[in-house]
Amino acid sequence: MADQVSERREHPRLNLRLSVVFAPQEAGISSECRGETTNVSAGGACFETVDWQHLRPMDRLSLRISGFSRYGTGSLFRELRGSGTVLRIEPQRQANGTPSGARVAIRFDEPPHFEVYDWVD
């Protein structure tokens, strides 16, 4: 099954733990929410958050993903800004059954803007 899922993916996923700040674009919700990515690709991201109760599939979010990752020698990723659509929400529970947040999968609505800079040793 995992092979079938990976074959359907248009963009390879990178398992990265990066900070994410998101805000639903729905009227009446103005606060920013926080989480941490579990993976990111050119087409979307998956993140974990405790701020998920007001989210629904097909909601649009504005988001900012930030962190520093170095791949060999080259540029360092600094920040990604964009918008996305919620594809699915997977509530998570601790071993004792207590709710512990949710995993949220989003698809970028358009290619996100990356802020990148070069590291010089």
Which neighbouring-strand residues pair with 62? 23, 83
pLDDT by residue (tens digit) across 59-98?
999 999 987 655 554 555 678 899 999 999 999 988 888 8
pLDDT by residue (tens digit) across 39-48?
988 899 999 9
Spatial separation of the C-alpha atoms in residues 7 and 1, rounded to whole Å: 10
Confidence of residue 1 (pLDDT cuts 50, 70, 90): very low
What is the pTM (predicted TM-score) of this model?
0.78
pLDDT by residue (tens digit) across 15-48?
888 899 999 887 556 678 999 999 988 899 999 9
Please tell me the CATH code under which domain 2-118 is placed: 2.40.10.220
| 73-94 residues labelled b (16+ CB within 10 A) or e (exposed) | eeeebebbebbbbbeebeeeee
| 32-48 residues labelled b (16+ CB within 10 A) or e (exposed) | ebebebbbbeebbbbbb
